[in-house]
Amino acid sequence: MIKKRSVNISGHRTSISIEEQFWEVLKEISEYNKKSINSIILEIDKKRNIDTNLSSAIRLFVLNKLRKDKNLVIFREK
């Protein structure tokens, strides 16, 4: 399910629409790297192609991280 979320990027509030599963893995990545979600999103925003929207860039970031880092926990039982 896609959920709209508000994030703060360098003092600018913006909204992203992203599936819950991608958001959960993004949280895992932030915990694993001891960084805030907003700081990771800022990094993604700075590196993304101008033709790619932020929500898509986040999805691509998550997929690439999962491919590269086998230590991340992908799914947790709730």
| Angle, helices 37-47/20-32, rounded to nearest 10 degrees | 100
d(CA 5, CA 13): 10
Contact by Cβ (8 Å): 19, 25: no
* Measured CA angle at 16 (ends 10, 19), to 5 deg: 135
Q: Which domain holds residue 6?
A: 2-68
Q: Check residue 71 and give its pLDDT.
A: 66
**Amino acid 13: pLDDT:** 94
Tally the C-alpha atoms within 13 A of residue 63's C-alpha that lie toward its C-beta: 7
pLDDT tens track for 16-75: 999 999 999 999 999 989 999 999 999 999 999 999 999 999 999 999 998 887 766 665
> Residue 77 domain-assigned?
no
| Residue 73 counted as domain residue | no
pLDDT tier for residue 14 given thresholds of 50, 70 and 90: very high
Residue 75 lies in a domain: no
Number of domains in the chain: 1
Whole-structure pTM over 0.75, yes or no? yes
Report the percent of the chain where pLDDT is more than 70: 88
